[in-house]
Structure 1
Amino acid sequence: MRFGVNYTPSEGWFHHWLDFDLDSVRADLDSVAALGLDHIRVFPLWPYFQPNRTLIRPRAVEQLRSLAVAAGERGLDVNVDGLQGHLSSFDFLPAWTRTWHRRNLFTDPDILHAQAAYLRTLAAALADLPNFLGMTLGNEVNQFSAGPHPDPDRATGDQIDTWLERMLAACEEGAPGRLHLHAEYDATWYQDDMPFLPAQAARRGAVTAVHSWVFNGTAQRHGRASVPAEHHAAYLVELSKAWAEDPHRPVWLQEVGAPAPLVPAEHAAAFTEATVRNALDCPDLWGITWWCSHDVSRQLADFPELEYGLGLLTNERKPKDTALALARAAAAAAPAPAARTTALVVPADPARRSACAPGGPVYDAFFRLTADGARPTTVLDTRAADRAHLARRGITEVVPPDQVLPTPQGGTRS
């Protein structure tokens, strides 16, 4: 089991690449390593690293490598996200993709060639480092492909599949044999018209990545201490397994955090403990990577209010109660979870994904089962009668959502 953190620099946020200070980075990494974590996820900003379609700045790539080396010196492995892309409500896209040079991020041949070259270059620069885990294509790049983005780059599911295949191949060319993957926000699992599909998330790349945020309607509907809020990350882990072809495909809980004010600061540690405990009860979990390492400085303007305080550590690198909760989990020897033998049926049709979203019948049924003490997983309706598939996954009971009755607790932990 891996425990890590998404690295947000304490000085300058991700704009630190413009004024890169290795001593400051080392101090940040010291504060992360002191928590007993074993990896970080790193975010080069795409426009800073590839400001022109045919220019990948060597100095920026050298700085990324120096960060990875510093992490290795502190016992931290490194995953690198390439196409940033989108972070904390801000879009960071190169000028050669927008306005006067507007071209589709997922279908334009010149853009695809440049993206592949960029990902290949970053991967190759780190390929010889023993602590380099691999590449993530980018952070939640699916948000560029559909609404509610105000200016989406529309694409079909087939076009996205071609894009994923080409970009993952570029990462593999740069660093063969490493853990290369892609990662989307939960619209992939919940939004009917999202062209990034659940089957792609569960089959493309070395592992399945899920990002769990209870501000998606979960905490608003049910409260911070509810079964749905405290088990939302576990739900996404188990939901992803319905589409996987490998019955033991690893799932990485790559982003999860305690967003205020839905989770007030005084309750964040308890939320962290519950979320981690419930995620650890999911078989085949690769690891948990908390969002995020350090707070966003109040000197930086225009972030959504919740973004400023999500760090495990303050800008002065002091650990919060959430950091100590995660550190305790990382230090403990968690037993291997038993197989989940009850499977909730979910629609295979991606145009019916909203059934799995907050308020949908699959979502509600999952948490009713959980509140009743069950440990459910999921299975596609097209596989629900496939005895061989069920046996490979250890499933002995298949339950349609409409057969799960409401519990007396209403899905809320007493």
Structure 2
Amino acid sequence: MPSAVRFGVNYTPSVGWFHHWLDFDLDSVRADLDSVAALGLDHIRVFPLWPYFQPNRTLIRERAVADLVRLVDAAAERGLDVNVDGLQGHLSSFDFVPAWTRTWHRRNLFTDPEVVEGQAAYLRTLAHALADRPNFLGMTLGNEVNQFSAGPHPDPDRATSGQIDAWLARLLAACEEGAPGKLHLHAEYDATWYQDDQPFTPAQAARMGAVTAVHSWVFNGTAQRHGRTSVPAEHHAAYLVELSKAWADDPNRPVWLQEVGAPAPLVPPEHAAAFTEATVANALDCPDLWGITWWCSHDVSRDLADFPSLEYGLGLLTNDRRPKDIARALTKAAGEHTYAPAPRTTALVVPAHPSRRSLCAPGGPVYDAFFRLVADGARPTTVLDERAADADHLAARGITEVVTSDQVLPTPPGGTRS
């Protein structure tokens, strides 16, 4: 039976960007949320800046928490559900981490017991403050926190995968303590799926938390290598959704496309709507999709300095809250989609061991084979090498054909796969 997929947007305030928490203006927030609700979307993802909310390990600012509650209540008035990211963390090339973890107080974000308990107290406090709000979806631990754990970060907080397991378990438990039964999850950028030395692993992403989150950005080499209208670029989000399923223990685990955007100049503004239409249509062909949350709501003001140039124009709406063509494309998809994708019966084998993740990255043999299959009209998913002969696992997922990357031959021009 057809069902609904959630359509939403990552909320970037039009005035002051995320620094708006310093001078919180509810009227400005309400105007922003009016412009989001007018697009026909049903949820937002919001970002408290961690140092502003918890400037000292034992001080969580009551006024900041109250402002977050006011934002969530304003969203409810406009029919918008809210997911809250706690540990900000990293946003749009800037790091926001409190002084009690850096320089003279340098301590590891993932392994220092006092830091972890401070983080747990903070997440539990935010979750508890919102637990009784019916439009509160739940907590995301933080935005792409894995970028702190390895290169290319200039000053990483190194940890083992086992230590990250413990960190995730502790902080997800803290969210559950604060708001039992809500949709609590963690979310990383695509190095989790592609980078061999990342301590955040695909198994953690696909097995811990209520849903699997994927963040799709074609500036990772996909658009540079293949172009904005290529099969890999237009199907990259769908690829990450299907790649994540190889590691899931639940054959029907929901996957949330929590971030996806149209980054200029790789996707020029005049082509952003077409890119959006294609990306969304292809993601909607993935079973078990929880939702699509576009990055982002409003452009960053040009009055703010030092952002990478692409960050200024990623909004569905301009800085003065006018919808762009890309907004109209997402509105159309949200209003017209019927979600009833058929099972994906062909599975491409991927390596289970995290030290071989780069085979799945842009330019890797698994990545290339997946998109050759797509170009030839197949609708592939993925399966771990250690499960490729497990008849019960394959049957539970509706898989009837298993192929390896070396069995997927390059497609000749104008031809089909043999």
Q: TM-score range by the shorter chain?
A: over 0.9
Residue matched to 1:317: 321
| Residue 388 in structure 1 maps to residue 392 in structure 2 | yes
Q: Is the 8 A contact 1:371 1:409 kept in 2?
A: no
* Distance in 2 separating the partners of 1:353 and 1:43: 29
Within a 5 Å distance, the mapping from 1:182-261 to structure 2 comes to 182-261=186-265
* Distance in 2 separating the partners of 1:146 and 1:333: 39
Residue matched to 2:379: 375
Amino acid corresponding to residue 241 of structure 2 in structure 1: V
Distance 1:323 1:409, change over 3 A: farther
Matched length = 411
* Distance in 2 separating the partners of 1:183 and 1:105: 16
Paired residue secondary structure (1:377): strand
Q: Is the 8 A contact 1:52 1:94 kept in 2?
A: yes
| Residue 123 in structure 1 maps to residue 127 in structure 2 | yes
Amino acid corresponding to residue 25 of structure 1 in structure 2: V
Q: Alpha-carbon deviations, 1:71-91, whole Å to 9, x = none?
A: 000000000000000000000
| Residue 80 in structure 1 maps to residue 84 in structure 2 | yes
Amino acid corresponding to residue 178 of structure 2 in structure 1: G
Distance 1:409 1:14, change over 3 A: farther
Q: 2:33 aligns with which of 29, 39, 56?
A: 29
Amino acid corresponding to residue 81 of structure 2 in structure 1: D
* Distance in 1 separating the partners of 2:188 and 2:113: 23
| Residue 91 in structure 1 maps to residue 82 in structure 2 | no
Within a 5 Å distance, the mapping from 1:4-403 to structure 2 comes to 4-403=8-407
In the TM superposition, what is the alpha-carbon distance from 1:282 to its structure 2 partner?
Answer: 0.1
Q: Is the 8 A contact 1:368 1:410 kept in 2?
A: no
Amino acid corresponding to residue 52 of structure 2 in structure 1: Y
Root-mean-square deviation (CA, aligned residues, Å) is 0.8
Tell me the TM-score normalised to structure 2 length.
0.98
Q: Is the 8 A contact 1:134 1:175 kept in 2?
A: yes
Q: For structure 1, which runs of at least 5 residues remain unmatched after alignment?
A: none
In the TM superposition, what is the alpha-carbon distance from 1:334 to its structure 2 partner?
Answer: 1.5
In the TM superposition, what is the alpha-carbon distance from 1:335 to its structure 2 partner?
Answer: 3.4
In the TM superposition, what is the alpha-carbon distance from 1:409 to its structure 2 partner?
Answer: 4.6
Tell me the TM-score normalised to structure 1 length.
0.99
Q: Alpha-carbon deviations, 1:286-324, whole Å to 9, x = none?
A: 000000000000000000000000000001100000000
* Distance in 1 separating the partners of 2:76 and 2:158: 39
Q: Alpha-carbon deviations, 1:5-31, whole Å to 9, x = none?
A: 000000000000001000000000000
In the TM superposition, what is the alpha-carbon distance from 1:407 to its structure 2 partner?
Answer: 1.4
- Higher deviation after alignment, 327-336 or 229-238: 327-336
Moved over 6 A (4+): none
* Distance in 2 separating the partners of 1:336 and 1:322: 24
Amino acid corresponding to residue 44 of structure 2 in structure 1: I
Q: Is the 8 A contact 1:191 1:354 kept in 2?
A: yes
